[in-house]
Structure formats: C-alpha cells, structure tokens
Amino acid sequence: DAGVIQSPRHEVTEMGQEVTLRCKPISGHDYLFWYRQTMMRGLELLIYFNNNVPIDDSGMPEDRFSAKMPNASFSTLKIQPSEPRDSAVYFCASSTTGGSQPQHFGDGTRLSIL
C-alpha cells in the first residue's frame, strides 16, 4: 500500500517567495496533520484536518502560513512570503479515527529559505 506522499522532497528558495508543500494521505484516512521539525523546537504540530475540515490551527506560527484540504486525497501547506526562519523539515501524517490509531508519516519536505 502506498504511504503518505509528500512533494517536493527538497525545496530551496529565496526569502519572500511563495512556497507550496503538498501531501497525499493514505486512502481511507480521515485525519491529516502537518508538522514542522527543527533542531531548536523539535516536532511541532501546525494544523490538522478531519474529513477535510481544519480542526485545530493553533500551531500555525503566523498569518504567512495557510493550509487547505480541498478533498480527501490532497492537502497543501503554503507559506507566503517565506522567511529564512521558516527553514525546517515539514511532515505530513494521516490516520483513521480513534485514539489508538497511529499516525503514518510521509518522508517530509526539507525547506531551505535563503
């Protein structure tokens, strides 16, 4: 079975540019999560969706960050405008309903803002 698919795997761009990260969750999963991982702050939950609806976006750092899930098989995380401090690895994860259900992670997007 295909796992969570993220694209691109690496992104290098200049400060001020718009960045769009993409995620395809596992088919049949109704929860989708976006995380950011840095050395300084570790793994942070940015936002999560249930049945394509954003449930908790309290982890989104600023208005420059936005996330959408137009359908059950696709989500985007957008940063506009990007800043060097946004450099991190961004992970997408998905799961089915239920606290005992594990989250399945993609391989992440390594983002570098110059």
Partner 1 sequence: AQSVTQPDIHITVSEGASLELRCNYSYGATPYLFWYVQSPGQGLQLLLKYFSGDTLVQGIKGFEAEFKRSQSSFNLRKPSVHWSDAAEYFCALNTGTASKLTFGTGTRLQVTL
Q: Which residues would be at the binding site for partner 1 (CB under 8 A)?
A: 4, 31, 33, 42-43, 45, 48, 50, 55-56, 91, 93, 95, 97-108, 110
Minimum distance between the CB of residue 94 and partner 1, rounded to whole angstroms? 10
Distances (CA, A) of 63 to 46, 58, 66: 12, 11, 7
Minimum distance between the CB of residue 21 and partner 1, rounded to whole angstroms? 14
The residue whose two tokens read 């394509």 is 52
**Closer residue to partner 1 (CB): 14 or 102:** 102
Q: How far apart are CA 4 and CA 26, in angstroms?
A: 5
Minimum distance between the CB of residue 56 and partner 1, rounded to whole angstroms? 7
Instruction: Give yes or no for a contact between 101 and 112, defined as CB atoms under 8 angstroms apart.
Output: no
